[in-house]
Structure 1
Amino acid sequence: MTIEKPTGPAGTASAAQPPTLHQCTCQQRAERAEAALAEQRRQTRQYLRDRVVAGDFDTDVTNDLLTALDLPPLPRHWTVTTRTTLTVTVVADSSDDAFDTARDVIENAVDQIGADADFDVMDVGQAIPGELADDSVANPVAAAVHHPTRA
């Protein structure tokens, strides 16, 4: 099958005419189809989200469906409980005072970062005495202890 180019008067090739309102190129049709598909995907995700919010659909099942449809899953709030070991160096007169000061340092640090955290500072180690400090109160320092990742 051969496609002949349209010719104008006296057999000369006619100039390409821009598409009219009722004609469009393959590129334009593809762009419209992609936009329509994107809108349909957005509406599908929104519909499923609304059903989860209303309590009609289970969140985990809905997220599995969204993943199968190659749509982003619904984000959730998670409450995570972690155990973190901190080594805090403080100036104190006794081990009891050292623990109290270390607890205060940790609580202040959590408050300063603005974390929405409910935590309980537990004494899990021992207070190890160091060198004598000046009589003036030094600023305590908290440092995270890095542990290798556990399998």
Structure 2
Amino acid sequence: MRDLAMAGDPVTQDELDAVARDHARWVGSGGGPGGFQILAVGGVVLAVYQGPSGTEGAQAELRNRLLPSDLDLREVALPWAVLTGIVGESLDLSGADLRGATITDARLAQARLRGADLRNADLSRSDLRNADLSGADLTGTDLENADLTGARLDGAKGI
């Protein structure tokens, strides 16, 4: 997956802005957290049902993409986004809203995720070596087989 991300063109700020804008419309039309009905048992989300008008706009999807470290991702709001296989070392995702996002197989070594909302996100098999997750909300986050070697977790919730 890393090879796929590295082989393609990196995400540009304009592309990210368009993805975020369409995604915000999708969330606002019922395709996001407000328009979803969630079936959870013991705090574990088992199923998510999309609201009736959730097809307006587009869900954010950046699969196997290279995110350059100069991309402005602080406080980006991409809840329920599909970010499988993204690559971006030393990214600043401080304060990002990534609730319920699928971020499996990502390569985010040294990423700054201070205060990020990662509730119910799937970070399984992701490389988070030396990442700063201090103050992040990791409640219900899937970290199975994630590499957290050297990661800062002070003040993180849900772990």
* TM-score (ref. length: structure 2): 0.17
- With a CA cutoff of 8 Å and minimum separation of 6, indicate the structure with the bigger relative contact order: 1
* TM-score (ref. length: structure 1): 0.17
